[in-house]
Chains A and B, each alone.
Chain A
Amino acid sequence: NAGVTQTPKFRILKIGQSMTLQCTQDMNHNYMYWYRQDPGMGLKLIYYSVGAGITDKGEVPNGYNVSRSTTEDFPLRLELAAPSQTSVYFCASSYRDSGTDTQYFGPGTRLTVL
């Protein structure tokens, strides 16, 4: 199993540009998550999904959108990038809900908005 994979690894955007961060998992997990990690801070949940076709907002959803058309994929869309979105983005998945189940993380995408 490859686990959770993310692309790209690094990206630099200009203010106002858009991009999609890709996330794929091959563990047949129902739950998937997007987090952002800012320097000196813990992870903050952006969006999550409990299954194909079902998504919901986390703690910091503004400026982002997601979709979940398949069990495997959970892309994160940034529209009109802003410097405040400079961060490291992690995708994660779990078989059951995150309250008790272990989450498995991808390697991250480092995004800089200039």
Chain B
Amino acid sequence: AQSVAQPEDQVNVAEGNPLTVKCTYSVSGNPYLFWYVQYPNRGLQFLLKYITGDNLVKGSYGFEAEFNKSQTSFHLKKPSALVSDSALYFCAVSPGTGANNLFFGTGTRLTVIP
């Protein structure tokens, strides 16, 4: 069975500091991993994904994520947080192709403190 864990409900970080939002996954085959961000009263927006290739994936708004197969993790990172990064972040995993194959974590609320 596929599952995603986001162990932190809330992450607080000072503006200008690096941020990390954690994600671990469990999947039966090769994982395909996604990060989405949700701003208040908005739908989810795609940030980045890992399908294959380089373990370090760069995405929108200066975010990046590192795929670590041995630790089954896909943590989201940014070198310098902005107040505008404050939002709800979702990690999602898929074991492969298929329209009903994307499973979401419960989300992590990131607050960047000015």
Instruction: Kindly list chain A residues whose C-beta atoms are within 8 Å of the C-beta of B43.
Output: 4, 90, 92, 105-108
A-B pairs with CB below 8 Å: how many? 76
With contacts A42-B4, A42-B90, A100-B94 taken as known, whether A107 is within 8 angstroms of B42 at the C-beta atoms is yes
Q: How far is the CA of A33 from the CA of B98 in the complex (A)?
A: 12
Determine how close the nearest CB of chain B comes to the CB of A85; give it in whole angstroms.
Answer: 19
A41 within 8 A of B: yes
Count of chain B residues with a beta carbon within 8 Å of a chain A beta carbon: 29
Is there a chain B Cβ closer than 8 Å to A53's Cβ?
Answer: no
Chain B hits for A49, CB < 8 A: 99
Pairwise interchain contact A100-B106, C-beta atoms closer than 8 A: no
Q: How far is the CA of A104 from the CA of B102 in the complex (A)?
A: 13
Q: Are A102 and B100 in contact (CB under 8 A)?
A: no
Chain A residues with CB under 8 Å of B42's CB are 107-108
Q: Is the CB of A99 within 8 A of B32?
A: yes
Q: How far is the CA of A4 from the CA of B107 in the complex (A)?
A: 22
Bound complex: CA of A100 vs CA of B99, how far in Å?
9
Is B100 a contact partner of A45 (Cβ separation < 8 A)? Answer: yes
> When each residue 7-18 of chain A gets 1 if its CB lies under 8 Å from chain B and 0 otherwise, what string results?
000000000000
Are B95 and A99 in contact, CB atoms less than 8 angstroms apart? yes
Chain A: minimal CB distance from B108 (Å): 11
Known contacts A100-B51, A105-B44: A41-B106 contact under CB 8 Å: yes
Q: Which 8 A-B pairs have the closest CB atoms?
A: A105-B43, A42-B104, A99-B97, A98-B102, A99-B94, A105-B44, A43-B104, A99-B101
Seed contacts A90-B43, A100-B94, A108-B42; 19 additional CB < 8 Å A-B pairs: A4-B43, A33-B99, A40-B107, A41-B106, A42-B92, A42-B104, A42-B105, A42-B106, A43-B44, A56-B99, A98-B99, A98-B100, A98-B102, A99-B99, A99-B101, A100-B97, A102-B46, A105-B36, A107-B42
Can you give 6 contacting A-B residue pairs, CB < 8 Å? A41-B106, A92-B43, A98-B98, A100-B51, A100-B94, A103-B46
Chain A residues within CB distance 8 Å of chain B = 4, 31, 33, 40-45, 48-50, 56, 58-59, 90, 92, 97-100, 102-108
